[in-house]
Amino acid sequence: MLPQFQFMKKITFLKTVILFLFIIITQSTFGQINCSQYNDWTSYSASHTFQKGFRVHYNGDIWQARYTTTSPLSDQYVRDYRSCSSWGTQWCYVSSCNACSSNANNTTSSGAIRESQTKNLAGSPSGGTWNNYNGT
């Protein structure tokens, strides 16, 4: 095989590896977990036993029981941010999570509004913030 083709094979392989790493990093950074996929730790009784590997959400984070435990996540000394595969406290950090359980539904009427008029905004779920944009 000619030397220039061997060089091109190496470049193509390098591009593939870089693309793969980019996809993995992007997914781990932007593919945030939804908190509602896991039970809220506060919904369990104080004496509940969590089996090793069980996951819950607490204060915007996903936590996993590193060992079988009854230790409360509210105690900062029983949780840590080290990998769940390493030794450590009873609870290990998995990921931060998004507290939204669904997208907002804008139910504001679509009728025209003039410069001197106002319009009430409506939608669900309640709370949160709204942004107004000018234009059509």
Residue indicated by tokens 């990093």: 25
105 lies in some domain: no
pLDDT given at position 117: 77
Instruction: Let me know: does 66 contact 92? Beta carbons within 8 Å.
Output: yes
Work out the burial of residue 22: count CB atoms within 10 Å of its CB; fewer than 13 is exposed, 13-18 middle, 19 or more buried. exposed
Instruction: Let me know: does 71 contact 46? Beta carbons within 8 Å.
Output: no
Supply the range of the domain harboring residue 57. 33-98
User: pTM for this structure?
Assistant: 0.50
67 lies in some domain: yes
pLDDT given at position 88: 87
**DSSP 8-state secondary structure symbol assigned to residue 69:** B
Which range, of 52-56, 60-64, 86-90, 114-118, averages the lowest pLDDT?
A: 114-118
Instruction: Let me know: does 46 contact 39? Beta carbons within 8 Å.
Output: no
pLDDT given at position 112: 74
Domain count, the chain: 1
7 lies in some domain: no
pLDDT digits (tens, 9 = 90+) for 79-103: 998 888 888 899 999 988 876 555 5
- Among candidate residues 66, 46, 43, 44, the one with its CA nearest the CA of residue 54: 66
Which SS3 state, helix, strand or coil, does residue 132 take?
coil
Integer-rounded Cα radius of gyration of the chain = 24
CATH code (residue 65): 2.10.10.20
Instruction: Let me know: does 71 contact 91? Beta carbons within 8 Å.
Output: yes
